[in-house]
Amino acid sequence: MDATRTLPLKSRPIDIVFIVVFSAFTVTSLISDLLPTLGVDISHASSNFFVNSNWWYAHDTDPLFMTPPTWMRIVTGLSAFVYMPFYVVLVVALIRGWNGIQLPAVIYATMIASITGIVVFGVEFFGEAQWVTPNPGKFLAFNVPYVLLPILLLVRMRRPQPFARRF
């Protein structure tokens, strides 16, 4: 078999998992991260579905997300305006087996692992008392996938021609 030949999607089950997950990340970037980026107050329950959904998550779990300082709004802005469009391109690339997504995927995975996995998690667990999560289990359940899946994507993209192999 030619090493540069793209395997069909059905032969790349991990890519199907990535397609589902990163499609969901597209939606959550829009629903969740856009609100604090634009300065929408999610610090109290509301009749607005999106505000209320974010409040439900954050009120007992994520004070940093609920009342974000400027630097955190920059982090959520990255998700809403950089990661979200990237997710759309990534999903198409995964479906079609476009090897050109490899470098952007490595850059994205490195960024999110560094910013979210180190900085945000660091503040949530070891930062100032006002930002430390009061509910580590819920925080991790909601946020670990946003670090773990990009790291798995990084592993997936570790060698040239990633779509010529199963993983």
Contact 143, 116 (CB under 8 A): yes
Q: Where are the domains of the chain?
A: 11-161
Confidence class for position 5, pLDDT limits 50, 70, 90: confident
pLDDT 10s digits, 6-39: 999 999 999 999 999 999 999 999 999 999 999 9
Dist CA 17 CA 94 (whole Å):
10
Residue 97: what pLDDT? 96
Is the pLDDT reported for residue 50 higher than 60?
Answer: yes
Tokens 């030949």 -> residue: 5
pLDDT 10s digits, 74-99: 999 999 999 999 999 999 999 999 99
Residue 1: what pLDDT? 44
Dist CA 22 CA 24 (whole Å):
5
Contact 118, 56 (CB under 8 A): no
Is the pLDDT reported for residue 3 higher than 70?
Answer: no
Dist CA 66 CA 45 (whole Å):
11
The pair of three-digit structure tokens given for residue 154, joined into one six-digit string = 């990084």
Per the prediction, the chain carries an average pLDDT of 95
What 3-state class would DSSP assign to 145?
Answer: helix
Confidence class for position 44, pLDDT limits 50, 70, 90: very high
Mean pLDDT in residue range 119-128: 98
pTM to 2 decimal places: 0.92
